[in-house]
Amino acid sequence: MLGVQGKTRGVDGFGILRASFAGLGLALGTGLAQGFPALKPLTVQVKFILDSSANKSRGLTHHDLTKLSAQRETARRNFARSALHFAETFTNGRYDVPKDGPSPLPLLYLATNCINVVVTDTLGYDIDRHRNGGASAGPPSTKGPYYITFLGMRDSSGSTLEHEYGHHLSGDTDRRPPAPPRDTWYDLKVDFRLLWQANAGPVTQFREHARKFHGQR
């Protein structure tokens, strides 16, 4: 169902990474020497759906929400380097993860023209087989014009939300789910763009795809 998952392991990407770091070094030298032009700020609409059924129907814990806040701040700070700003809304919802079978889509809560982020305690193995706490998909998989990220707080790290945003803002979720090892290439591509953004300058591809997340019509 979901085509892009967080930081997949198992494929030899060292050659790609070596080339990426070489390019990053060149960009650092050029960017710092010449500076980067001022960019017009773009707003990305994000709807957070907080799962009331998480943690055996006790809802998200204080630890979960604190961890989410830290991930949001990491994404906010780093994407600001590409003049991208997140306009966030929050709603309570229910997302029941089955013990067996495919993970459902919370269609009742999804909005169009934005990134929907379902925040729960842990994700189903069908969408998070490596237990990285993040998975994303778009219209080819979501039974409608919806872009969605699933965030499992138990397994996610400080950069998981930022990484999943990177898939949406690279256009990965506009494609059908890739098969291994191509999904790992998508992860490497996103990670390199995030590294470039953090150390070298704005990422044009992120800005190009941000325009479709302008909010619900």
Per residue in 17-29, pLDDT tens? 444 444 554 445 4
Write down the pLDDT at residue 184: 85
Residues in the chain: 217
User: Which residues are CB-neighbours of 152 under 8 A, at least 6 positions away?
Assistant: 120, 121, 122, 123, 128, 133, 134
Residue 71: helix, strand or coil by DSSP?
helix
User: For the segment 52-93, what is each residue's pLDDT rounded down to a tens digit?
Assistant: 999 999 999 999 999 999 999 999 999 999 999 999 999 999
**What is the pLDDT, as a whole number, of residue 18?**
42
Mean pLDDT score of the chain:
84
Helices within the chain (DSSP H only): 14-34, 54-57, 62-79, 160-168, 182-199, 204-210
CA dist 93 and 23 (Å) reads 43
d(CA 124, CA 208): 31
What are the distances in angstroms from CA 116 to CA 50, 88, 196, 202?
11, 10, 25, 24
Strand, coil or helix: 192 = helix
Q: Is the pLDDT of residue 100 over 80?
A: no
Q: Which residue has the higher pLDDT, 179 or 101?
A: 101
Beta-bridge mates of residue 84: 42
The CATH number for 41-210, chosen from 3.40.50, 1.10.405, 3.40.390, 3.30.70, is 3.40.390
pLDDT of residue 38: 85
Percentage of the chain surpassing pLDDT 90?
Answer: 64
Q: Where are the alpha helices (DSSP H) in 35-113?
A: 54-57, 62-79
- Residue 9: pLDDT band (50, 70, 90) is very low
Residue range 132-180, pLDDT digits in tens: 999 999 998 888 999 999 999 999 999 999 999 999 999 999 988 766 6
The pTM of this model reads 0.84
189 closest CA partner among 173, 176, 172, 204: 172
Measured distance CA(216)–CA(198) in Å, rounded = 29
Predicted pLDDT of residue 22: 45
Tokens 């709807």, residue located = 47
Over residues 2-21, mean pLDDT: 42
**Alpha helix ranges (H) inside 80-149:** none
Which residues in 185-201 are b (16+ Cβ under 10 Å) and which e?
Answer: ebbbbbbbbbbbbeebb
pLDDT value for 182: 67
pLDDT value of position 14: 40
